[in-house]
A and B are shown apart, each in its own frame.
Chain A
Amino acid sequence: MKALEIKNLHKVYDSGTVALAGLDLEIEKGEFFALLGPNGSGKSTSINIVTGPTRLSSGSVKVFGLDVEEHRQETKMMIGVVPQEISFDPFFTVNQFLNFQSGYYGIKNNQEKIDEILERLDLKDKKHSMTRALSGGMKRRLLVAQALVHDPKILILDEPTAGVDIELRQNLWNYMQDLNKSGLTILLTTHYLEEAETLCDRTAIIHKGKLVAVDKTKSLVKSMGNRKVLVVTLAKKFKEIPKELAVYEPFQNEYNELHLHFDSNEVVKVLEALTLLGDRVVDLDIQGQSLEDVFLKLTYNAK
Chain B
Amino acid sequence: MNLTGAMTLFKRETHRYLKVYSQTILTPVISNLLFLMIFGLSIGRDIPGSDLSYLQFVVPGLVMMGIINNAYQNPSSSIIIMKYQGLISNLLTIPLSKGEILWAFLASAVLRGLLVGVVTLITALFFVQVGFYSILYIVLASFFSALLFSALGVIVGVWAKSFDQTTFVFSFLLSPLIFLGGVFYPITTLPDLFQTISMFNPIVYMVDLLRYGFTGYHEFALLLDVSVVLGFSLVLTAVSYLILRTGWRMQT
Give chain B interface residues in 71-115, CB to chain A under 8 Å.
85-90, 92-97
Contact A91 B92 (CB under 8 A): no
B137 to chain A, nearest CB (A): 36
Binds A, one of B2-10, B43-51, B139-147, B157-165: B2-10
Q: Which residue in B15, B19, B88, B95 is a CB contact (below 8 Å) of A105?
A: B95
B42 within 8 A of A: no
Contact A104 B96 (CB under 8 A): yes
Q: Which residue in A48, A91, A100 is a CB contact (below 8 Å) of B19?
A: A91
CA distance A53 to B82 in the complex (A): 14
B251 to chain A, nearest CB (A): 5
A83 to chain B, nearest CB (A): 6
B189 within 8 A of A: no
A87 within 8 A of B: yes
Task: Decide yes or no: A51 and B93 within 8 Å by CB, A105-B5, A106-B5 being known contacts.
Answer: yes
Contact B95 A53 (CB under 8 A): no
CA distance A103 to B96 in the complex (A): 11
A52 within 8 A of B: yes
A59 to chain B, nearest CB (A): 16
CA distance A236 to B152 in the complex (A): 58
Contact B252 A91 (CB under 8 A): no
Contact A104 B89 (CB under 8 A): no
Contact B8 A85 (CB under 8 A): no
- The number of A-B residue pairs with CB atoms under 8 Å apart is 81
Q: Give chain B residues whose Cβ lies under 8 Å from the Cβ of A52.
A: 89, 92-93, 251
**Binding site secondary structure of chain A:** loop
A55 within 8 A of B: yes
Q: Give chain A residues whose Cβ lies under 8 Å from the Cβ of B97.
A: 72-73
Give chain A interface residues in 63-103, CB to chain B under 8 Å.
72-74, 76-77, 79, 81, 83, 85-92, 100-101, 103
B110 to chain A, nearest CB (A): 20
CA distance A55 to B250 in the complex (A): 10
Indicate the member of B19, B92, B97 with the most A CB atoms within 10 Å. Answer: B92
CA distance A72 to B4 in the complex (A): 17
Contact B95 A104 (CB under 8 A): yes
CA distance A88 to B81 in the complex (A): 11
Closest B residue to A85 by CB, please name it. Answer: B86
CA distance A79 to B90 in the complex (A): 12
Q: Give chain B residues whose Cβ lies under 8 Å from the Cβ of A85.
A: 86, 89
Contact A87 B95 (CB under 8 A): no
Q: Give chain A residues whose Cβ lies under 8 Å from the Cβ of B7.
A: 103
Closest A residue to B3 by CB, please name it. Answer: A106
A303 within 8 A of B: no
B80 to chain A, nearest CB (A): 14
B231 within 8 A of A: no
CA distance A91 to B85 in the complex (A): 11
CA distance A86 to B247 in the complex (A): 22
Contact A106 B95 (CB under 8 A): yes
Closest B residue to A150 by CB, please name it. Answer: B95
Q: Give chain B residues whose Cβ lies under 8 Å from the Cβ of A107.
A: 4
Q: Give chain A residues whose Cβ lies under 8 Å from the Cβ of B15.
A: 91-92
Indicate the member of A13, A52, A90 with the most B CB atoms within 10 Å. Answer: A52
A39 to chain B, nearest CB (A): 17
A108 within 8 A of B: yes
Q: Which residue in A73, A87, A108 is a CB contact (below 8 Å) of B90?
A: A87
Q: Give chain A residues whose Cβ lies under 8 Å from the Cβ of B252.
A: 13-14, 48, 53-55
Supply 5 A–B pairs (Cβ within 8 Å), ascending by A.
A52-B92, A52-B93, A86-B86, A103-B11, A106-B5
Please provide the 7 A-B residue pairs with the shortest distance between their CB atoms, ordered closest to farther. Answer: A103-B8, A87-B86, A76-B95, A104-B94, A53-B89, A53-B92, A106-B4
Other A-B pairs, 19, CB within 8 Å; known A48-B89, A54-B251, A81-B93:
A14-B252, A48-B252, A52-B89, A53-B89, A72-B97, A73-B2, A76-B94, A79-B93, A91-B15, A91-B19, A100-B11, A101-B94, A103-B11, A104-B5, A104-B96, A105-B5, A106-B2, A106-B3, A107-B4
